[in-house]
Amino acid sequence: MPAAPRNLAETGLDPDFVRQIIIKTLHLTGAQPGAELAGRLGVTFAVLEPCIEALKRERHCEIVSGSMSPAAYMYRLTEAGHSKAAEFNEHNHYSGCLPVPIDQYRAYLDVFRRSVGPSVTRPLVRHAFQHLVVSDKVLDQIGPAVASRHSLFLFGPPGNGKTKIARAIGGLLAGEIAIPHALVVDREIIRVFDAMNHDPVDSRAASSLLSLDPTPDNRWVRCRRPVVTVGGELTMESLELGFLPSYGYYRAPLQTLANGGMLIIDDFGRQRSSPTEILNRWIVPLESRVDHLVLQSGQKFEIPFEILIVFATNLNPLDLLDESFLRRIRYKVYAESPSPSDFVAIFERCCHERDLPFDRAMVEALIRTELEPRHVQLRGCHPRDLIEHALSLAAYVGTPNQLSLDLLSAACATYFIRGNVDYDDR
């Protein structure tokens, strides 16, 4: 975590800008003790004290009660202060933790990039994927891609666990990262911390385990490295700053939410925007690791693009992008279909997950008598789906909650479609 600023200058913020946030926060919360107000703004009272003294001189703030020290005084807005809050809220409604200046964010991510986690090794990759049945060949292609922190194209037939593989890659992103509650660029505020995509770590537990500065900068949130997943709902608008008119500030784009971690584009090629449009947006950031965002005023600014992007698709990459685009996605990994022995291993894991007895001979018979005659291409999802079908049928007919070849055969009949179905059959 970044160290807490010891004074107002170290926040990197203009004093007038900080006073505006103090006024809007007091307007929203009512009277507050000085220390509690500082806690809401993510800093110590020593940082706020010059601003509070200025507000008192301007008769926008007053002391209601308190003793011992200014941090213990109860502060509230005057009538003039509430009028000022209404004026400031016309620009934006942001209150709470002070934003982090964009230059401090860039400096933090530069340090993070140079100090991030242990190198990705073969044993670490095996450990991260121990809950999945994935061939050593595929794992040895994934490992170098993650180690290089370059983009990765994960493709192959549907049902072979590409999404699970992509999420397991997230397990290789060791360590933690600080996520700012918000950024400020030329007094425009951008919300960054997102409870839907960021997983906070208990700061008390973390500080008891690690030798850290006891006073971290609480304008930031200690989080696990983010793994952000989007699918067919991805739009080009979600890759740009989103202005929220009712609040008067911006939301960060998806790639900024994923900074320091991973962004998974699932079902790539099935978005409303074309694959070419999406990749065009990222051609420069993928190469330079710097993104450019634009405010409503037209002002453009740089922001780090420190992300591992995984594109996962069932479609043929050659049908989605031309060679020049594919070249920029450095690593391409084919998620192959399971062999018969892999299929048996996946079936065994699915049984153990459901506390069902596993019978290897029954699964081998299933492949021999049901799947091969149907010319079924084995997929990683088949064991899970057939087991669920079979157990649903068992519950329906009132038989014990266990698998049999008869139940699995009946499951195959309702799961697979014959190639010679006659739609004109009356």
Q: Where in the chain is the domain with CATH 1.10.10.10?
A: 8-96
For strands 32-33 and 74-77, give the pairing. antiparallel
The whole-model pTM stands at 0.85
pLDDT for res 203: 56
pLDDT for res 215: 76
Segments of the chain with pLDDT less than 50: 205-213, 421, 425-426
For strands 262-265 and 308-313, give the pairing. parallel
Give me 96's structure tokens: 């709470």
pLDDT for res 288: 87
| Nearest residue to 141 (alpha-carbon basis) of 336, 288, 289, 283 | 336
Q: Are 268 and 262 in contact (CB under 8 A)?
A: no
What's the CATH number of domain 340-415, 3.40.50, 1.10.8, 3.60.70, 1.10.3470? 1.10.8
Give me 29's structure tokens: 């919360």
* 8-96, CATH topology level: Arc Repressor Mutant, subunit A (1.10.10)
pLDDT for res 426: 44
Q: Under CATH, domain 102-334 is a member of which superfamily?
A: P-loop containing nucleotide triphosphate hydrolases (3.40.50.300)
Q: Are 223 and 192 in contact (CB under 8 A)?
A: no
pLDDT for res 117: 60
CA–centroid distance for 38 within its chain:
29
